[in-house]
């Protein structure tokens, strides 16, 4: 790989026991708090192995991975009671299978627009590892 994969670095940090953003480990993925909380409860599901394309996985893993994403989604819904959940899985910027889980809220005047339309503002809502650990513990209570 010419450019290091940021998601692989996160997975390596988790494997070393150094990822305070970890909510839980699933069979095929890990569920982590997002680096920013522009959307309260923003989290990600990261596939444990470096793989670029979802369709290249065996069908059984695709199904199990989707169930992991749904388990993560249900925990976020239980924890935050959002108006709507948005799921994004592009892999264009980071070619590694992953999902962004964005809780959306009724009081957001732009709730019907794609969450990445607000990406320029994400940097203003970065969180520190201690806060990530607190958010992770809160979400974990709802798994």
Q: What is the pLDDT of residues 74-132, one digit of tens each?
A: 999 999 999 999 999 999 999 999 999 999 999 999 999 999 999 999 999 999 999 99
| DSSP symbol at 50 | -
Cα separations (Å) of 48 from 3, 51, 57?
18, 9, 12
pLDDT (0 to 100) of residue 1: 44
Please provide the size of the chain in residues.
143
Distance of CA 16 to the CA centre of its chain: 19
Q: Give the confidence band of 4 by pLDDT, cuts at 50, 70, 90.
A: confident
CATH number for the domain running over 6-140:
3.30.428.10
């Amino acid at each position: 790989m010419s450019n290091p994969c940021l998601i692989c670095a996160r997975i390596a940090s988790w494997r070393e026991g150094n990822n305070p953003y970890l909510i839980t480990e699933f069979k095929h993925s890990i569920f982590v708090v997002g680096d920013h909380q522009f959307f309260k409860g923003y989290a990600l599901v990261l596939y444990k192995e470096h793989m670029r394309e979802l369709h290249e996985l065996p069908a059984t893993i695709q199904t199990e991975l989707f169930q992991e994403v749904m388990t993560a989604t249900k925990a976020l819904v239980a924890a935050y009671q959002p108006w709507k959940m948005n799921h994004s899985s592009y892999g264009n910027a980071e070619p590694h299978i992953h999902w962004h889980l964005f809780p959306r809220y009724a009081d957001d005047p732009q709730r019907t627009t794609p969450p990445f339309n607000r990406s320029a503002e994400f940097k203003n809502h970065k969180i520190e590892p201690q806060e990530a650990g607190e958010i992770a513990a809160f979400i974990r209570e709802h798994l």
